[in-house]
Amino acid sequence: MKTTQYVARQPDEHGFIHYPEAEHEVWNTLITRQLKVVEGRACQEYLDGIEQIGLPHERIPQLGEINKVLDATTGWRVTRVPALIPFQTFFELLASKQFPVATFIRTREELDYLQEPDIFHEIFGHCPLLTNPWFAEFTHTYGKLGLKASKEERVYLARLYWMTIEFGLVDTPQGRKIYGGGILSSPKETLYCLSDQPEHQAFDPIEAMRTPYRIDILQPLYFVLPELKRLFDLAQEDIMAMVPKAMQLGLHPAKFPPKQAA
């Protein structure tokens, strides 16, 4: 497993996590900036979720505050985890309607981009859409499938997750919008993904599973859903029957250079 310089903060005996003032300031910088950037670019379901959750601007929220809203809307909750968790734990959590949140926040030096998912990425990027039944259903189904999948199958499922939950776009009556949490928590990617620089492709689950990606670059290709409900419909389909088809067809050539060795 990869290592990280970040350490998740532990709660006190009352379940309260104390963050230093400097970390609350980082949260404030991130949320204030990103709320402006996602305006007019995020899909309506995400914006509705942001409104429902009512994230504080001046401090990092406590997980219990988020859970009250998620539980009332879709029966989900967020669960505190260390900075990085194994695939198995990830699938177990999603299968039980728990979304993992690492309780650390990036440093000022890594304000714009961080490889590890921090509390800002998880809460600002993903939690608003977990109030949406379509998105929540797909995420739950994904967790259950991943739990039963083989190691090889999980690699294909991971690409499907990356191309939807992390970096997905959706067509709406108001135009093309963002729903992927990896985009919504990144100012640079929010602007870039809707520009004419990357490629946009109509969403196809098998094609998504066949598309290589790198986590440390702006994505060269985004898959576009015809509507957000397509995720819910996909959850009702036999996703695991699509995996061997994707395997048989093989991976597409990468649209990016290989990562340079450090």
**How far is it, in rounded angstroms, from Cα 10 to Cα 24?**
16
Is 126 annotated in a binding site? The answer is: yes
DSSP states along 70-112: HHHHTS-EEEEE-SS--HHHHHHHHHTTEEEEES----GGGSS
Contact 166, 181 (CB under 8 A): yes
**How far is it, in rounded angstroms, from Cα 207 to Cα 157?**
12
Q: Output helix, strand, coil percentages for the chain, rounded to the nearest 5.
A: 50, 10, 40
**How far is it, in rounded angstroms, from Cα 34 to Cα 50?**
12
Structure tokens belonging to residue 205: 């689950």
Structure tokens belonging to residue 179: 């729903």
Parallel, antiparallel or unpaired: strands 175-178 and 98-102: unpaired
Annotated binding-site ranges for Fe cation? 121, 126, 166
Annotated binding-site ranges? 121, 126, 166
